[in-house]
Amino acid sequence: MAVVEKQYGTGRRKTATARVFLARGQGKITINKRSLETYFGRQTARMIVLQPLVTLNITQDFDLNITVRGGGPSGQAGAIRHGIARALVRYDEQDYEVSNDVDASAKTGINGWRGLLRKAGFLTRDSRVVERKKIGLHKARKAPQYSKR
C-alpha cells in the first residue's frame, strides 16, 4: 500500500470545528487562507497549534491547510491542535500495511505517533463547553442577591 500524499483530520473544541489537510512539504501553515502568524495574534494560541508537530519533532516536514469555523481564538486553537493530531495519526497509519498474521503495533513500535500523541493528550476531544444560562439567574449559576427583608 502506497502512502497517500494528503491526509485529513477533523478537530473540535468548545463550539469551534477545524478541518485539517496535511501534506508533505516545508512546514507552511495556512489557516483560512492566512498564515499562522496573521491569524493568531497571541503567541500562546500559535504554541497550542504547533504542539503536536513539536512533540513529534516534525515542524518542517508537513504543509497544513486548515479551515476553522465557530468559537473564539482559544477554542479554534484547540480545535486545530486536535485536527492536526488526528491527521498525523492517519498519515502514520497509512505507512504500514496491516495484515492478518502480523500485529500492527509490532510494526509501528510503540503505536507509532498515535502513542506519543495520545500520551500528550492531543487525541482526546476536550468536551467542556459553556453551560447555558438558566431562567431567573444572571448567568448559568449566578443568582440575584438574596434579600431577607
Tens of pLDDT, residues 27-42: 999 999 999 999 999 9
**pTM confidence score:** 0.85
Is 146 contained in some domain? Answer: no
Is 111 contained in some domain? Answer: yes
Count of the separate structural domains present in the chain: 1
The predicted model gives 74-80 an average pLDDT of 97
Q: How crowded is the C-beta side of 1, counted as CA atoms within 13 Å? A: 11
DSSP assignment, residue 103?
A: -
Four-point Cα dihedral 82, 83, 87, 92, nearest 10: -10
User: Mapping DSSP to helix (H, G, I), strand (E, B) and coil, where does residue 14 land?
Assistant: coil
pLDDT-based confidence at 3, cuts 50/70/90?
low
The predicted model gives 112-135 an average pLDDT of 95
Residue 93's domain comprises 6-120
Is 75 contained in some domain? Answer: yes
CATH number at residue 18: 3.30.230.10
Asked whether residue 103 carries a pLDDT value surpassing 60, the answer given is no
Is 135 contained in some domain? Answer: no
Is 38 contained in some domain? Answer: yes
